[in-house]
Amino acid sequence: MHLRTTLPKKILAWYDNSKRNLPWRVGKKSPKKLYYRLLSEFMLQQTQVKTVIPYFNKFTSKFKTLESFSKLSENEILKLWEGLGYYRRARNLLASSKVLVNQYNSKLPKEINELKKLPGIGDYTANALLGLVYDQPTVALDGNVKRVFARYLNKKETKINFENFIALNRKKLFCTNRNSDFVEALMEFGALICKPKDPKCIQCCLNKSCAYLKSSNKVRTNKRKKIKVMQYDIFCYLNKRKQIALTKENNVGFLKNFNLPTIKKMKKISKNTKWKFLKNYKNSISNQKLNINLYYRFSNKIPRSHNWHSLQNNKEFIPSFTKKIFNQVSLLF
């Protein structure tokens, strides 16, 4: 599985002419480089660029440096992150920023094993940061990059040992002295040209040597996500002061440790119950499709694990999942 020496040069030439103007792409000597790259890499995990841009701009307009960002409280970052989803990223990002500021003098560790000790940083993010911040010869293996190599070789991703593949082609991949640009160029190329569906093969700068394009037996590279359908009953305690009782003690995998009404796996509700049916609706979180029955009751007494929260309080962090519940039960007032 050897590559041609022209591959990185061709991708970099394409990148120079076609790259997007993204707010986290600053000059190599910019003092903002580490902060902007750290913030954007966490935000871009499992989230599209167009979704991330307004959040990135919001954060960087409020907090100009990594040092000021690191002083945020967890509630503050979660409120600013509200709507971006995958909230564990926000917690890990904040924790990592505090470690970098307090233990590394606002510098990024240069060794990958040291870098991976930071919260929320695995192989992909560590390699991306080392390449983007320090111009180290690395490849950040996200879905886009794996697809580029798999298509170029016309092999299934599962049949490629990417670590061995990169080691075998190391001299060819890093022959340009533009390591940071190449890290980003590969990801950009996968996002804009070698797309999961309808790749732009005619425009592709690699089409003369691409095994996928030449083959009559093209390997399928766009994997279908397995969708789980989950059934839940949600029980909302309400009072006349427009408050809802929330708890962090729900035994569900998504939105763990967040304030939510009582959530239980769906089952038949007794006709003698005090709970009143409000609505059935659908929701999606990650690879789960949720079928939800929403129930309510007015009561001044609530379980000990619950606390009253205002339906009209916009100052607290509320996940989008909970906001949808708030919108439904608010119609009762």
- Structure confidence by residue, pLDDT tens digits, 145-172: 999 999 999 999 999 999 999 999 999 9
The residue-averaged pLDDT of 55-77 equals 96
Question: In the predicted model, is pLDDT for residue 83 greater than 70?
Answer: yes
Sign of CA dihedral 218, 219, 222, 224: positive
The reported pLDDT for the residue numbered 280 is 93
Contacts of the segment 136-139: beta carbons below 8 A, 24+ positions apart: 136/110, 136/179, 137/170, 137/173, 137/174, 137/179, 138/179, 138/183, 139/166, 139/173, 139/183, 139/186
CA distance 177 to 290: 49
Structure tokens at 77: 């970052």
The residue-averaged pLDDT of 240-263 equals 85
The reported pLDDT for the residue numbered 254 is 65
Q: Which of 127, 128, 126, 135 is nearest to 176 (CA)?
A: 135
Q: Which residue has the tokens 């871009």?
A: 44
Report which residue type is found at 9: K
219 falls in which pLDDT band (50, 70, 90)?
A: confident
- Structure confidence by residue, pLDDT tens digits, 29-45: 999 999 999 999 999 99
The reported pLDDT for the residue numbered 123 is 95
285 falls in which pLDDT band (50, 70, 90)?
A: confident
The reported pLDDT for the residue numbered 224 is 67
The reported pLDDT for the residue numbered 308 is 93
The residue-averaged pLDDT of 46-66 equals 96
Indicate which residues carry an active-site annotation: 41
The reported pLDDT for the residue numbered 222 is 65
Within 10 angstroms of residue 30's Cβ, the number of other Cβ atoms is 11
Q: What is the pTM of this model?
A: 0.86
- Structure confidence by residue, pLDDT tens digits, 296-323: 999 999 998 999 999 987 777 888 888 8
